[in-house]
């Protein structure tokens, strides 16, 4: 079964119709303003295409994790303001998601304009485990679009959720996959089915538990697997028995066979695993903390001893990882190498990002913190083959899981 695409919808004609688009606008806020507008800029092209074709464009999105009730901290108001600044067409905001207020806002919307509805997670039915509750909300959203309405899912970052605005709504309106969803699927299929070799996977971030299933699923597919970030410490302690000071550790995984058996799994499939050879160990979690570079097998040998806290990979590791990336024809990177938000502990992440821009191979930045790091560190996004907007959804796809939002669109 082939899913209908945005191009199919545009070919049918949308002039005068109301099109409901699920976008991923879950951006970080800083003092009430949008801190990183990458997801907004990625979402606008589809919205503008529809508006240019004469549609009335309704947008649903979430921000943060409000507890099923309106919360000013998670209002989409600053997102709407930034959208209006960046967009070539008028962007309006509704103060409500559904109900009389939303209905009035939709009735006042002109063809060729965009209306952002309020945070969909302000309604407890969005994330409810009760299918009837979700179905009810989906019905109310569909009613806003009207009899000639259509639904476009362009929020790949949310397709792993069985939520009303992602999954249930697809049963209420003629449904189409947006350009972002189509692009993400194309890239992810290439990574899992036909990568050009050598194929290197770079994984970082803080928790092994977030990525253990990804590691297990990608070891048979990749030629080399690079491990960095805070997850190093759990693996170094569990697999090698190294002291790690007061570095982040998931103690419940130290004797877990899925962790302790990773080296054996890699050996069985002929996949090379590269751990850091050195780490930056600090006196505390602070931007100005005293710090030193120590070998991975001697992380407690510095002046801070067993109180040392690992916050980045060291320069030797950065060079080792960059060399492996340079020889690769396909690279997938998800998760920073250290606490990139602090300048003193951003060098490892910066080195990996730079290596991706310098390799001649196809490179994929796996969304989330990795994409934020690329922008925060000042890299030109065009220097990467693809910057994902997927985050957790991309990881679940790479684990081999079905994604409810994709299944609802009928994507094969």
Annotated catalytic sites, by residue? 39, 207, 368, 392
Residue 24, marked binder: yes
Residue 121, marked binder: yes
Count of alpha carbons within 13 Å of 150, Cβ hemisphere only?
A: 25
Instruction: Say if residues 114 and 138 touch (Cβ distance below 8 Å).
Output: no
| CA dist., res. 333 & res. 40, Å (int) | 22
Instruction: Say if residues 233 and 276 touch (Cβ distance below 8 Å).
Output: no
Residue 327, marked binder: no
Give the CA angle between residues 217, 220, 225 to the nearest 5°: 85
Q: Quick one: which H or E segment has residue 18?
A: strand 18-22
Residue 230, marked binder: no
- Two structure tokens written together for 275: 């751990």
Q: Quick one: which H or E segment has residue 146?
A: none
| Cα distances (Å, whole numbers) of residue 338 to 206, 231, 232, 342, 391 | 8, 10, 10, 9, 18
Alpha helices (runs of H) in 53-129, residue ranges in sequence order: 77-86, 100-107
| CA dist., res. 129 & res. 410, Å (int) | 22
Please state whether 287 falls in left (phi above 0), alpha (psi between -120 and 50) or beta.
alpha
| CA dist., res. 160 & res. 373, Å (int) | 23
Residue 245's SS3 state is coil
Residue 92, marked binder: no
Residue 39, marked binder: yes
Residue 367, marked binder: yes
Residue 65, marked binder: yes
Q: Which residues, in sequence order, are CB contacts of 58 under 8 Å at separation 6+? A: 18, 19, 20, 21, 106, 109, 115, 117, 144, 145
Cis status, amide bond into 198, omega within 30 of 0: yes
Give the distance from CA 230 to its chain's centroid.
18
Residue 257, marked binder: no
Residue 25, marked binder: yes
Residue 161, marked binder: yes
Q: Which residues, in sequence order, are CB contacts of 337 under 8 Å at separation 6+? A: 204, 228, 229, 312, 313, 318, 321, 348, 349, 351, 352
Q: Following DSSP, what letter does each residue of 188-231 receive, concatenated?
A: HHHHHH---SSEEEEE-SS-STTTHHHHHHHTTT-SEEEE-STH
Residue 369, marked binder: yes
Residues tagged in the binding site annotation for (2R)-3-phosphoglycerate: 39, 121, 161
Which residues does the annotation place in the binding site?
Answer: 24-26, 39, 62-65, 121, 161, 211, 310, 341, 367-370
Residues annotated in a binding site for substrate:
24-26, 39, 62-65, 121, 161
User: Which segments are annotated as binding site for ATP?
Assistant: 211, 310, 341, 367-370
């Amino acid at each position: 079964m082939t899913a209908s695409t945005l191009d199919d919808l545009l070919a049918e004609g949308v002039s005068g119709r109301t099109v409901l688009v699920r976008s991923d606008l879950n951006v970080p806020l800083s003092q009430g303003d949008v801190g990183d507008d990458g997801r907004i800029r990625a979402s606008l092209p589809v919205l503008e295409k529809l508006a240019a074709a004469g549609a009335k464009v309704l947008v649903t999105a979430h921000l943060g994790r409000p507890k099923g009730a309106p919360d000013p901290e998670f209002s989409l108001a600053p997102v709407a303001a930034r959208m209006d600044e960046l967009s070539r067409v008028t962007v309006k905001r509704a103060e409500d998601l559904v109900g009389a207020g939303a209905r009035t806002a939709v009735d006042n919307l002109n063809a060729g304009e965009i209306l952002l509805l309020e945070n969909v997670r302000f309604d407890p039915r969005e994330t409810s485990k009760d299918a009837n509750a979700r179905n009810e909300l989906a019905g109310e959203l569909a009613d806003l679009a009207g009899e000639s309405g259509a639904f476009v899912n362009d929020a790949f970052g949310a397709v792993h959720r069985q939520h009303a605005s992602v999954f249930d709504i697809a049963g209420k309106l003629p449904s189409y996959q947006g350009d972002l969803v189509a692009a993400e699927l194309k890239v992810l299929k290439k990574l899992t089915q036909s990568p050009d070799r050598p194929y290197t996977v770079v994984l970082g971030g803080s928790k092994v538990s977030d990525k253990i299933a990804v590691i297990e699923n990608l070891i048979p597919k990749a030629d080399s697997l690079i491990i960095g970030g805070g997850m190093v410490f759990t693996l170094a302690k569990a697999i090698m028995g190294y002291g790690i000071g007061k570095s982040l550790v998931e103690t419940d995984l130290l004797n877990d066979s899925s962790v302790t058996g990773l080296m054996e799994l890699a050996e069985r499939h002929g996949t090379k695993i590269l751990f850091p050879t050195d780490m930056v160990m600090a006196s505390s979690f602070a931007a100005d903390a005293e710090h030193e570079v120590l070998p991975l097998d001697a992380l407690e040998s510095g002046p801070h001893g067993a109180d040392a806290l690992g916050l980045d990979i060291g320069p030797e590791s950065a060079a080792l990882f960059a060399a492996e990336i340079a020889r690769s024809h396909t690279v997938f990177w998800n998760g920073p190498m250290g606490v990139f938000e602090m300048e003193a502990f951003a060098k490892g992440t910066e080195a990996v990002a730079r290596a991706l821009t310098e390799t001649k191979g196809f490179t994929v930045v796996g969304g989330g913190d990795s994409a934020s790091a690329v922008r925060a560190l000042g890299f030109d996004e065009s220097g990467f083959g693809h910057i994902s907007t997927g985050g957790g959804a991309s990881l679940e796809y790479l684990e081999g899981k079905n994604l409810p939002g994709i299944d609802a669109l009928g994507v094969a």
